[in-house]
Structure 1
Amino acid sequence: MDKQLTMMKSLTDANGISGFEYDVKKIMEGYLEPVSDELVSDNLGGLFGMRKAREGSRTLLIGGHLDEIGFMVTQIDDNGFLKFTPVGGWWNQVMLSQRMNITTDKGVLTGVIGSKPPHVLSAEARKKPVEIKDMFIDIGVASKEEAVEAGVKPGDQVTPHCDFTEMTNKNYLMAKAWDNRFGCALAIEVLQNIKEEDVNINLASGATVQEEVGLRGAKVAANKIKPDLAIAVDVGISWDTPGMSEKDGVGKMGDGPLVLLLDGSNIGHVGFRRHIEKVAEEKDIPIQWSAITGGGTDSGAFHVSNEGVPSVSIGVPLRYMHSNISVLNREDYNNAVNLVTEIVRSLDDSKVEEIIW
């Protein structure tokens, strides 16, 4: 496994739902420190590698987010089954009989979201999705006391179990938490790409926390760093699988990074978007223009921070978003890294002023 895949595996295999990002942050810190002039962290846990401009005073923020969707343990019943609540957006139809990791103070335990055998379900019951409030996690114990002895407590985080995997076509990469360890990996690689270069924009490249529960960490990070421009790097929707229609949205794996015209939280800043389009054309980097009317990314918080920060979201098409397993294309990822790297190289104070106006 090469260095890029090793980094991707370490980031996606790590467990870190919103509010529990510390293990992912430690991994991120190890990659950012060698390629940064300094590290900056906010009080909620966001982490950024800083590069100082050779000339110029303007600042660009590149932000992925450390957190993934998952669950939190809320109760342990008398028989040792765990009740839980979602952290982030889930569709209950993807959850039953899925393997889960429960991170306790004593270590990580294996569990499974239980399901009834079809033999005991009526025809009507088979048609109805099970409500999340009626689900439970089985960790393989016989009592509440045994679960507590194993280290389980209310408040523990729960994450899907999926080992990082290269698929049949090695460009197709399967993992949990691509949303948004993709953005974490990209933020690291951009700094690696410019490690030996002088740039003319101050750069903060890293990741926020608690994006999946309302873009909370992005507010804090932008107020800490006070950027002049911001790029939220996050996954987008892949419309190229059965049951998904490309007439309903733009996003095909292998056709390049996504640049969002708008989403539910931000209208991509027109001046910045036009600059990105010019950079992509000059560097022959394929891009796809996407519009997502529902949901949002950290650009939704970046752009309304301080006195206003022109912001755009850049991502890659992702299959099976907000489920236990997701798939992205390595070529799309590399093109996204190249695009954001070239944007950094293209900026200086005068260009920032031109974009803002």
Structure 2
Amino acid sequence: MTPSEKEIERFRTLTQLPGIAAHEMRVRDYMKTQLSAYSDELVFDGLGSVFAVKRSKKAGAPKVMMSGHMDEVGFVIKQITPKGLLKFFPLGRTWEHVVMAQRVKVYSSLTGQAYPGAVASIPPHLLPEDSARRLLSLDQMLIDIGAESKQEVLDAGLRPGDMIVVDGPFVPLLGGKKLLSKAWDNRFGCALALDVLEAVAGEELDVDLYIGATVQEESGLRGAKTSGYMIEPEVSVVFESSAANDNMGDPEELGQQGKGVLLRYLDRTSITHRGLFMYATGLAERKKIPFQYFMALGGTDSGEIHTARSGCPSITVGVPSRYIHTNSSIMDYRDYVAARDFALAFLRSLDRERYEKEILSYSR
């Protein structure tokens, strides 16, 4: 099972667009264009989250929110040194082990120009033995774009606060089903939102669907809070690329690639509504969609959406991606297909009666 050429092109485009928290403009432009092809109504929150609206003809249809998030983990320029090197600050959770010596792209907010660079590293030949064994912290690292002075950097249009993303090309791996790239967290969710909307565009649903992507997830679930408040969903499905934990070969570890969609029951920011979780797992079993029970130490947009206004049953639906938050994360296309099958089955199965009897009844 491998992706089509159309899917490959969508994956390539989405993963290669730069967009850290509060700098999602290029990703949002793409999402607006694609969502507009299948919906006449787009809504935005004040931070930049974007959703297509597909309304049901059924009176009293439950309001369903489905969303990925546009931002990827990255950095901003913190300071420019007299030698023209860049000090930087992370936006999103980053591990020092995977930053050193990475290639990056630095984007000018003034001109839009991208400048290639590298996270500077000192060769071990130039370090005392005890220093060579110690890992530098992020605030000790610098980015080298080839400039020789602070003025040269300023003349290039770069300023503190400008965006830095890791350079991680999109590459299908051996066999074609595993896909290597930066930013699967969470351009997976963006791609899935577009695929789902396209699939149901010509159908009559028994729900009012709001589907799209939020902003600033990696910096604190900010877009989820504002869009959840705006939409006031009755049920939410969050699309998220989660951490796979299968590459050491232990089949008991959570997050196995190629084994199906992840249905998350617990993480640091939310406990999945029990009625919704039972409905989701029962649906996957009935439809014979491969799925995995999943919990995580991190959090997702569900953490804010499930407490929006008076509360909203919310579940995180994901794929297990290896090496997330690096320039070389890997997604398995088979899991993507399972996630898409689940999202479509969920939309096509839900109506007001099922929502109240099989989901909301657990809260009554």
* TM-score, L = length of structure 1: 0.97
2:197 to 191, 195, 206: 191
Alpha-carbon contact 1:209-1:218 (below 8 Å) kept: yes
Gapped runs of 5+ residues in structure 1? none
Where do 1:66-77 residues align within 5 Å?
Answer: 66-77=70-81
Matched, 1:96 2:100: yes
The letter for the 2-side match of 1:85 is F
Matched, 1:223 2:223: no
Aligned partner of 1:349 in structure 2 is: 352
Alpha-carbon contact 2:246-2:254 (below 8 Å) kept: no
CA shift, 1:36, in A, is 1.7
Aligned partner of 2:245 in structure 1 is: 239
Matched, 1:272 2:276: yes
Aligned partner of 2:36 in structure 1 is: 33
Aligned partner of 1:120 in structure 2 is: 126
Aligned partner of 1:150 in structure 2 is: 156
Partner Cα distance (1:284, 1:54) in 2: 29
Partner Cα distance (1:239, 1:171) in 2: 18
2:54 to 51, 56, 63: 51
Matched, 1:82 2:111: no
Aligned partner of 1:137 in structure 2 is: 143
CA shift, 1:54, in A, is 2.3
CA shift, 1:245, in A, is 4.9
Aligned partner of 1:312 in structure 2 is: 315
Alpha-carbon contact 1:37-1:52 (below 8 Å) kept: no
Alpha-carbon contact 1:69-1:177 (below 8 Å) kept: yes
Partner Cα distance (2:162, 2:32) in 1: 24
Alpha-carbon contact 1:18-1:209 (below 8 Å) kept: yes
2:12 to 3, 9, 12: 9
Stretch moving more, 300-309 or 278-287: 278-287
CA shift, 1:138, in A, is 0.3
Deviations 1:282-314 (A, max 9, x none): 22110000111x210000101001100001110
Partner Cα distance (1:151, 1:33) in 2: 33
Gapped runs of 5+ residues in structure 2? none
1:206 to 209, 212, 230: 212
The letter for the 2-side match of 1:276 is A
Partner Cα distance (2:299, 2:13) in 1: 26
Alpha-carbon contact 2:261-2:291 (below 8 Å) kept: yes
CA shift, 1:168, in A, is 1.2
How many residues are paired up?
354
CA shift, 1:196, in A, is 1.2
Aligned partner of 1:60 in structure 2 is: 64
Partner Cα distance (1:221, 1:33) in 2: 18
2:262 to 248, 258, 274: 258
